[in-house]
Structure 1
């Protein structure tokens, strides 16, 4: 009420011409301005020379709430302040911020004075009308961008868009939508608004704006990195760095909805070992707890899982790892529910599953009573981990599949967001739910042990989640070519928000339209689905997690045929390629952790001067060497237009819609695909070693088992041994593929592959450089050490023209002329 009286007084004073005197005062980190009229205050705060926080508020004092996403505290930053006329200028070594004293609008420029971004008008503060958010505002601020400026980010969405201009999007977490109020520009800056409520993002001819449903103030961070990698580095400095994942997480993972017994789980791993097809992980989906009244009991109460310790021991004995499904909700018969409920730590809105019975379709006569827990509460997070630790982690479970961290919200009503949480209304903190839920598990496991790295596969993400060992997947996608195409820009925009670990359900989650009837398992024999699945798998090979999963039909390789058949062989080829690339992938992981790099790199990251790639949504770099151009259109079978969202899929009304007689499809025929090679580099065809110049579109011959792949000239790519699992063989005879045409370098990284000893310096780096003018490869002296490291090894150095040199390496600098 004090806020409203103050605003009313200010308006009254304005009406009689009694304007309050404007005031600019310097603070420890910037300046504070009282805008004429007395009802708006602005603060500019330097956190680093390249990160600045802007806060605007109508209250007498700046709101003080601990950020859920930002972990950086403002540093002592040298800056100059100049007050000339109606403008206050703040200049650090990296950016120039100007503040208009008359209306408080802010502009940002680089150190040369080139304008980067400007606010457009004053902010809007509209008091929240609902009772639970009384005292808060609906907050809006607009910005002015260049007409042809490309921007990226705002999370992961299924729009198919790469460049996020000309978009109006309501940002709220859901099954297929991961929302973060952040974007970065091709001009080399980023903007993150530290607010967790649902927000309308709008970009049109009038401007670019964020309109938040609940807030206390305008509260955003402007960061200048000079380029996309620089912005990602600033995001991570602001919201947290990326821990290393275990090597085995980068192998191949098999899953489906769902394995119905521990014998089936163990049997799948055993079958892969018998076939000699590499595998590192198996995932157990829901219902290992039994019926839905025991939903997410975090206990093996299903009689078909009678001995979980034996199951884990059997999986581990075959040198595989296991992840298990856990949720953000609990059934009324579970121990966690009974402890959380009396404490008021469960939400009262409808979530999945709707019925307490496992039968399909749900029976409304027997509601499940399942409720989502308050992940914002430290006490609730403690209770969650207690049951997870006692019920599952104690058996040696390797990883967590945290499903529904959005969380699921069925039959949504706006009033549901009035639900009170530990941190205020659910509306106020809605979008940060996955950050809190995932962070709770990560922090608790880290407190228990440092011998096993935390690995969390989860369905939703928010800014800062990269610090919690989480790999986000894109939700319950439908099996369609359109959905596959959408995954590429979805993963790239998510990665451009600074969160590098992303994956998707290979083959799409809902494959029902490719079956003749519900769950009869015919899709792997359906050529329409076989082609889609193989192309999806090829894309999935070049994502941070290669994981096959879905409903309606099994996805194991042996369901698609047998060795010697085109579909089976195409699947096996990609799995083996993934393992061949593990030294490259793991070293890239270190580049992500240690040097703030990115796995899936939108082409604009590496080729910002080539405007043809600014809005390219069907190609990308994987690491800094591989150009990936997945085949995203059907070539052998008719492409069925099938639109499926998660709700229609879960209602199972999509089965049979893609039926068509396709007997006699010849998957051995040669086809072709268009590929654009970015300007500014020369390229080598990975499969043929043919060298091509950039800046052109080419036609690449394809077959079912071939995805167009190109290596940037100047790259050094280490290839590993043929293995059945990631750590089967030591990297004592790696092949170094050197691609001439430009100077280049690569750092081979190794550690103990699991545990956190690398944080104490237990790792090695070997810098390799290629000098184009002298055609000399130099393998530098090994830096660092760790227990059990290779003291000596050999490298097989190979060039595209077929030349090979064997280099014996003992940790000392050595070079070879090629």
Structure 2
């Protein structure tokens, strides 16, 4: 047994020559050492199997091997795997487990990864596998690092957290890992070839095609009159387009941060203005060009008079448009950008990435700050096994309270204690399901952000409020920011102890509340600061009985809309070193502080944290990530589908978006009849999608987001939301069983099609359908007034309509009806789907009858998982599994012997078996014929079906 550190044996040189490294064999791999740094700055490297399917690679610009203290990878003990070493001659050495073979070039140190059948999985670039570039940071030497791999043009890869570009398969693209409101960066990717890479670096990182994005003048630009060198920029009065304020040449659109506002023409009044850029471009390269635009306000982009982008984003939180456009060398393309800033603060930046000169498709990792380069290669037979390897490294996904999988209601914000209690009462009066209600920010007195005190004028008795919520079988979360106002006693205490980042206060930047106040964030990298912040929260909030913790703005968003460098500077220095070296890890340590505090305070109670950012390992801290302050727009809605799937494939099982979107266009404040109907349909369609997400949660700015505030009872939007609320609760036996599997089997709830159908090449880039578990194929409706959509049905299975039982064959695209009330949901043949009764909260009917829907056409199995739903005893083996299996050839359903038990377990269960086949056409909306009613007491039962 050993810890996760390098164990070197004595020198065993295998091959030494000029310019080549000395190569040593170790008990777990190889150690390479160069007499002088290579042209790429490498002087030593270790390659170690830490498990049969996991290899750690560490490269250093010096000879001494010094272990990295990783924030993502948990310290643990591994058993040395059985390995076979092989000297393959002058050029190669290899080391092989029973899962994976690693070959290392003895001349250059570059690596290739193979499965045990000799199939190449991944190879490092043989010309420049990795590179160190020395630089300086805060007076100390450091390095920019880059690791390069070559992959095939057709290899799809995913993960890296949650991003808002709508991209799903990242092959040929560039992904920026920089925590930002709406972007959650996790440095772990997976390939459809069933391997993954965990990049062990906490700083700003680019992944994929990491070449710098270029300003538009990387292309040959022409203005609207054909003059070369720029586009024509026109700034004019939005109310009177003939009133033109400024016309000027511009070749670099870069209004990217708060400090860039001065670049706008002096006469350009953002509240009253529009602008457009017109002309054409020519490229020296043929191929897909990646156009990247950061924007706020309304933006339309036309190429050759074809609308390629039409977006809106709130002025204070810029978004990203990213699209590929095929371009032919030396051909002219007309381009036009039309922009309405829609506010007194607005951002616009446009860049381009022409096709790479490389023949191979690049997959690179490039980070700003490092002293070493370290990554983990994780192999598996499928993507689930790769994710399991990631969690082996970074920690188990702990199980959330069962109530977390019910319905969440929230808004920005409940301004008084009475408002919140009235909402809970309305749910209970209408008998509509709810398990969680959330108190958003500004419950404190205006001048006391960070004090954790309530404004007693609006919240006279917070504990009584919490108690009243609990009486109605509802849990309550509260928003806690790491932000503290300068003049508060909390700030003064934290500053005296060195717990505060000083830069924002030193610059006296004001926030947007009231007259504006100065503030900063506490240093989560200081363990004493984390403990002090939890103790403050414990004293003033936890003591009142709150059940969960909404950790907002933990990117950290110390001051919004600054440049990348300013944001990093504002988080520096940390207790561990320069902010630039640790920037992306802030949300991980913020959650750790609360998790550790809660484990000490309530050592047998599950933790529930909601956070606006994520990082590698967050799943071990009982955290859910939501997709940030996205816009209430159809295109933003669509982007959430790919964002949720990629986040889930980053090893993080708990994800949600603001149903209905957070930020709202002004046309919805006092809507016309047409806008009112669009608002209702947008919310209904998003609600339908949310019912099948891991966490089912409504939140957003005004208009109010409760179902009864969105539409009246006689409106189809109201009835649709009520239907899916009830359906969510009926699906709790299925969903909670999946949740149990996230801990016990490293499972993933929200699944891309490629996870379950890896051999179907059609699914590799499907970005608008997903699976909830392995049974339910969900196809959201994200276009206004759409009443049908094309749905791809993966091959290898038949599919049944969830609502009606109509059967379809796989390996085809079909058009499915999608009336206002419903979205297409299909069930895979061979599925066993446990469906319970309608409830107002997850355990209202603990002894409910469960219907077992059996979808014939293939063998099937399902483990019905149960535990007490609240304690940590599940991790000690206190849970039960009822195994259910169906044999297609014999038509026998077996409900097996119950495995395990827990305190409070229901010993006897009533099951109703419903058979779905091509002939029966039974669905959840059908008048169902029950094939068999079963009283189950924990002993095996065989049931003959027809």
TM-score normalized by the length of structure 2: 0.78
The offset of 1:73, in angstroms, is 4.4
SS of the residue aligned with 1:797? Answer: strand
Residue 807 of structure 1 pairs with residue 941 of structure 2 = no
Deviations 1:454-474 (A, max 9, x none): 001111001110111001000
The offset of 1:804, in angstroms, is 2.2
Does the 8 A contact of 1:35 with 1:104 survive in 2? Answer: no
Write the distance in 2 (CA, Å) between the matches of 1:609 and 1:205: 31
- Given the superposition, is the C-alpha separation of residues 746 and 571 from structure 1 closer, same or farther in structure 2, using an over 3 Å criterion? same
2:852 to 719, 733, 736: 736
Alignment partner, residue 465 of structure 2: 311
Alignment partner, residue 7 of structure 1: none
2:68 to 65, 70, 91: 65
Deviations 1:625-661 (A, max 9, x none): 100001111116xxxxxxxxxxxxxxxxxxxxxxxxx
Alignment partner, residue 364 of structure 2: 209
Alignment partner, residue 392 of structure 1: 541
Write the distance in 1 (CA, Å) between the matches of 2:725 and 2:567: 44
Does the 8 A contact of 2:369 with 2:580 survive in 1? Answer: yes
Write the distance in 1 (CA, Å) between the matches of 2:46 and 2:484: 44
Write the distance in 2 (CA, Å) between the matches of 1:357 and 1:673: 43
Write the distance in 1 (CA, Å) between the matches of 2:734 and 2:508: 41
The offset of 1:705, in angstroms, is 0.8
Map 1:710-721; keep pairs closer than 5 Å. 710-721=826-837
1:765 to 862, 877, 881: 881
Does the 8 A contact of 1:523 with 1:529 survive in 2? Answer: no
The offset of 1:561, in angstroms, is 2.9
Write the distance in 2 (CA, Å) between the matches of 1:523 and 1:70: 54
Deviations 1:683-706 (A, max 9, x none): 110011011111111111121110
Write the distance in 2 (CA, Å) between the matches of 1:154 and 1:385: 29
2:665 to 473, 490, 512: 512
Alignment partner, residue 190 of structure 1: 196
Does the 8 A contact of 2:792 with 2:811 survive in 1? Answer: yes
Write the distance in 2 (CA, Å) between the matches of 1:205 and 1:732: 62
Alignment partner, residue 13 of structure 1: none
Write the distance in 1 (CA, Å) between the matches of 2:147 and 2:692: 38
- Given the superposition, is the C-alpha separation of residues 21 and 782 from structure 1 closer, same or farther in structure 2, using an over 3 Å criterion? closer
The offset of 1:205, in angstroms, is 6.3
Alignment partner, residue 337 of structure 1: 491
Residue 79 of structure 1 pairs with residue 83 of structure 2 = yes
1:584 to 714, 731, 734: 734
Give ranges in structure 2 of 5+ residues lacking alignment.
Answer: 1-15, 210-355, 921-928
Write the distance in 2 (CA, Å) between the matches of 1:550 and 1:173: 21
Does the 8 A contact of 1:732 with 1:792 survive in 2? Answer: no
Does the 8 A contact of 1:720 with 1:731 survive in 2? Answer: no
- Given the superposition, is the C-alpha separation of residues 414 and 19 from structure 1 closer, same or farther in structure 2, using an over 3 Å criterion? same
Does the 8 A contact of 1:524 with 1:560 survive in 2? Answer: no
Map 1:582-731; keep pairs closer than 5 Å. 582-635=732-785, 671-731=787-847
Residue 168 of structure 1 pairs with residue 174 of structure 2 = yes
Alignment partner, residue 143 of structure 1: 149
Deviations 1:279-318 (A, max 9, x none): 1111000111121x31132222342111011000100011
Write the distance in 1 (CA, Å) between the matches of 2:114 and 2:503: 46
- Given the superposition, is the C-alpha separation of residues 205 and 810 from structure 1 closer, same or farther in structure 2, using an over 3 Å criterion? farther
SS of the residue aligned with 2:535? Answer: helix
- Given the superposition, is the C-alpha separation of residues 516 and 386 from structure 1 closer, same or farther in structure 2, using an over 3 Å criterion? closer
Q: How many residues align?
A: 757
The offset of 1:135, in angstroms, is 2.3
- Given the superposition, is the C-alpha separation of residues 181 and 777 from structure 1 closer, same or farther in structure 2, using an over 3 Å criterion? same
Deviations 1:3-55 (A, max 9, x none): xxxxxxxxxxxxxx994774211223211011464552111111101100011
SS of the residue aligned with 2:717? Answer: helix
Write the distance in 2 (CA, Å) between the matches of 1:581 and 1:250: 10
- Given the superposition, is the C-alpha separation of residues 439 and 205 from structure 1 closer, same or farther in structure 2, using an over 3 Å criterion? farther
- Given the superposition, is the C-alpha separation of residues 781 and 51 from structure 1 closer, same or farther in structure 2, using an over 3 Å criterion? same
Deviations 1:467-514 (A, max 9, x none): 110010000001111100100010100110111100000000002344
SS of the residue aligned with 1:532? Answer: helix
Alignment partner, residue 440 of structure 2: 285
2:647 to 494, 497, 508: 494
Higher alpha-carbon deviation: 445-454 or 368-377: 445-454
Residue 271 of structure 1 pairs with residue 426 of structure 2 = yes
Alignment partner, residue 32 of structure 1: 31
1:127 to 131, 134, 155: 134
Alignment partner, residue 529 of structure 2: 380
Does the 8 A contact of 1:525 with 1:560 survive in 2? Answer: no
Larger % of strand: which?
2
- Given the superposition, is the C-alpha separation of residues 318 and 210 from structure 1 closer, same or farther in structure 2, using an over 3 Å criterion? same
Residue 424 of structure 1 pairs with residue 573 of structure 2 = no
Does the 8 A contact of 1:53 with 1:221 survive in 2? Answer: yes
SS of the residue aligned with 2:830? Answer: coil
Map 1:347-496; keep pairs closer than 5 Å. 347-350=501-504, 355=510, 358-359=513-514, 363=515, 366=516, 368-408=517-557, 409-410=559-560, 411-412=562-563, 414=565, 416-418=567-569, 419-496=572-649
2:184 to 160, 178, 182: 178
Write the distance in 1 (CA, Å) between the matches of 2:833 and 2:675: 37
SS of the residue aligned with 1:431? Answer: helix
SS of the residue aligned with 1:162? Answer: coil
Write the distance in 1 (CA, Å) between the matches of 2:549 and 2:659: 19
The offset of 1:622, in angstroms, is 0.3
Does the 8 A contact of 2:648 with 2:750 survive in 1? Answer: yes
Does the 8 A contact of 2:836 with 2:848 survive in 1? Answer: no
Does the 8 A contact of 1:732 with 1:790 survive in 2? Answer: no
Residue 231 of structure 1 pairs with residue 381 of structure 2 = no
The offset of 1:337, in angstroms, is 1.7
Does the 8 A contact of 1:67 with 1:194 survive in 2? Answer: yes
Higher alpha-carbon deviation: 796-805 or 426-435: 796-805
The offset of 1:186, in angstroms, is 0.8
Alignment partner, residue 304 of structure 2: none
Alignment partner, residue 716 of structure 2: 566
1:41 to 25, 41, 44: 44
SS of the residue aligned with 2:637? Answer: helix
